[in-house]
Structure 1
């Protein structure tokens, strides 16, 4: 990794082997400096390098506005708000029943709680389509537990969604399912094809790695079964299948090899790496090491004609577009994916089903749309954020992370992760996927 320093109280300078990259952490402008320019920059100004940088907007004089204040002003000018405009997608949690017992799952499974009912599915979908009347697209993701345990509700919901889309003038529906891949039937595969599903199969690596954390309820591995079902999905026209990869104690340290196996042995060309959440109030991994591993895995995927996405891509997207990427709870159009839960509940956070601050009934959200502000992120909550190179890419913990951590102070490993992703993206030349 390169070393970094604050230049003129405004810019972050990353030095590596005599070369450097300058970054404006508010405007997200960057410039490369060769060895001669780095030497020239350290000389008494004005030099040719100082003059060239000034022409690009990197100036040594002028007001030194606090970075946090400058970022908030820029967000206002861009019209970017931390409050979602509406809910455009639902993660529909059909059941907490599951045929597997994954020891890191953020969902409490097999608790005996009641499944969702057809009426609850209908009410939730009606709200989704009414809220998005006349818009281009809504998204529906079936979730659990293992959502295929209630395949009947998936069938019911998909048929109803088509009727609601026609009724409310919604042009398209993006359908996905997150599944462990261990119990797919012919009827399920045909259904996925009919509705052009994106099927995300949760796999953490080769059998020895996957079964370290992911076993059937009886304690047996399910790898052979999962592999057969992945093959069936890949052979079915109209189904888009990918891998949901969770960094675990079993695969951290060899994520690149894990991704190579997923591509070469399973044939999956789309991989999404989940981001660690601060379980127990803190991050459980080294942020800097994870950023480096995700980058190495990304390069493996690119070299094999595949795509791998993770939070690392947030830095690439921000630097490519020169646009802040702060609101991890929102889609690019400032809409929200929420979680529809059994018992007439809706969580504004699609990965936190228990926090009272996120939970509302649909009637409450209809009556008070301003309740969406409950998921809004507090931007750069502490003074140290003002000089952080990841200011406009991280911006501090999300509302969910703040609640899990128990305050606004970011976890040090989260800070290390985002700072490292910025540095990686600045020196990388592959661009966006």
Structure 2
């Protein structure tokens, strides 16, 4: 990909084989120019032309912006009623234990530390808060997490039974249940339970055995791929369970993501794949952003060609351009509610993937008494001047609070910037639309 040009000081111009695609990084309007039209923009004398007239009808005018584009975006967010502060917690990622039967080199959770598991009392307190906060709502979500959550299957059973009772008490219409598991120790009893409650089961698999075993092995050092594949087939054969794959880009599968996705679809039989976003656990992104964007796109097209769906942060750009609506606040849901993490000790982390950062940690009682504490996860939009000239201004808008804390500053990682600018260019030129 080439460095995009700037048109009239405010639009991004992507050139490819003589054609051009224009993007307004604030409104997310886009337009496409033939080689002749693109040439006319660079050679035409001041005045009205057919191309300028056509662009004007699409919202592209040569009048320069007088304000910082970041301020223009913030004004647009206010007009649209988009706010980074959550209104309430509507979902909990419930971290039952940090015990795990596998040791994955890239895991963002410190596992097998010897810390106490969650107790029934703590689980009941967290669920009571969740349903009280969402009384009369259509849905709450519960995701069982660890470590390996099935190690405390007894707590999952207890929690699911209690959740149904609380839903009836507080007139919550639906409880959406998911579990993230490595799939290596699923019992028949657990699978029956998942079916009874209509679970979504996310199996963490990074690819074929040679790829998966590079970073994911049992505590004894041996791979578990045969066991995992057998359990995936058992899940797929059980009515009432929705099974998908959580795919983490790693040093083992980067360069082979399309091949990996093909194997997951054709061999495992999984038709829903979610590719995780790199987490700068060592203070920086562990992958090259430009390469990751291109590989995710190739893998996405591979999945579509096989009748499957693959979602990643790339789809954030597709959705934003499709709706002409900024997609900046990945820390909250579209209805401005928050998925938080319930931790042992009756603690809540406002970030559902960061369980250690003190800035995110509050007790259940603290949040119940003062819901304004949810502001602690709110994102600051476009925190540095360079964000104002970025094609991804209304799609990335700078690092999240979690990313800022992990990096140790408000300046985004260079590879994060490369990833988002590349995803925007891919989405602008792509015509496959929404999945």
- Using the size of structure 2 for normalisation, the TM-score is 0.99
Among candidates 297, 300, 303, match of residue 301 of structure 1: 303
- 1:4 deviates by 1.1
Counterpart Cα distance in 2 of 1:382 and 1:8: 22
Aligned residues of 2:86 and 2:337 also touching (Cα < 8 A): yes
Q: 1:370 aligns to what?
A: 372
Q: Residues 249-268 of structure 1: matches in 2 within 5 Å?
A: 249-268=251-270
Residues 350-390 of structure 1 deviation map (CA, whole Å, 9 limit, x = unaligned): 00000000000011001111100000001000000001110
Counterpart Cα distance in 2 of 1:131 and 1:37: 55
Counterpart Cα distance in 1 of 2:147 and 2:286: 23
3-state secondary structure, aligned to 1:324: coil
Q: 2:361 aligns to what?
A: 359
Q: Paired residues, what number?
A: 433
Greater alpha carbon shift after TM alignment, 303-312 vs 55-64: 55-64
Q: 2:138 aligns to what?
A: 136
Among candidates 58, 61, 64, match of residue 60 of structure 2: 58
- 1:64 deviates by 3.0
Counterpart Cα distance in 1 of 2:100 and 2:414: 34
Aligned residues of 1:40 and 1:48 also touching (Cα < 8 A): no
- Structure 2 residue ranges without an equivalent (≥5): none
- Structure 1 residue ranges without an equivalent (≥5): none
Aligned residues of 1:41 and 1:47 also touching (Cα < 8 A): no
Q: Residues 37-52 of structure 1: matches in 2 within 5 Å?
A: 37-42=37-42, 43-45=44-46, 46-52=48-54
Aligned residues of 2:29 and 2:58 also touching (Cα < 8 A): no
Aligned residues of 1:10 and 1:64 also touching (Cα < 8 A): no
Q: 1:339 aligns to what?
A: 341
For the pair 1:274 / 2:276, whether they are aligned, the reply is: yes
Counterpart Cα distance in 1 of 2:218 and 2:57: 62
- 1:3 deviates by 4.2
Aligned residues of 1:129 and 1:170 also touching (Cα < 8 A): yes
Q: 1:28 aligns to what?
A: 28
- 1:53 deviates by 0.6
Among candidates 153, 156, 159, match of residue 154 of structure 1: 156
Does the C-alpha gap of structure 1 residues 58 and 343 become closer, same or farther in structure 2, counting only changes over 3 Å?
A: same
Counterpart Cα distance in 1 of 2:186 and 2:65: 62
- 1:317 deviates by 0.5
3-state secondary structure, aligned to 1:163: helix
Counterpart Cα distance in 1 of 2:108 and 2:282: 11
- 1:62 deviates by 4.9
Aligned residues of 1:3 and 1:15 also touching (Cα < 8 A): no
- 1:39 deviates by 1.1
Counterpart Cα distance in 2 of 1:62 and 1:402: 32
- 1:63 deviates by 3.7
Q: 2:12 aligns to what?
A: 12
Q: Residues 16-415 of structure 1: matches in 2 within 5 Å?
A: 16-42=16-42, 43-45=44-46, 46-415=48-417
3-state secondary structure, aligned to 1:252: coil
Counterpart Cα distance in 1 of 2:176 and 2:161: 14
Counterpart Cα distance in 2 of 1:196 and 1:277: 30
Counterpart Cα distance in 2 of 1:260 and 1:132: 40
Counterpart Cα distance in 1 of 2:2 and 2:387: 20
3-state secondary structure, aligned to 2:141: strand
Counterpart Cα distance in 2 of 1:251 and 1:62: 45
- Using the size of structure 1 for normalisation, the TM-score is 0.99
Counterpart Cα distance in 2 of 1:243 and 1:384: 36
Counterpart Cα distance in 2 of 1:57 and 1:321: 16
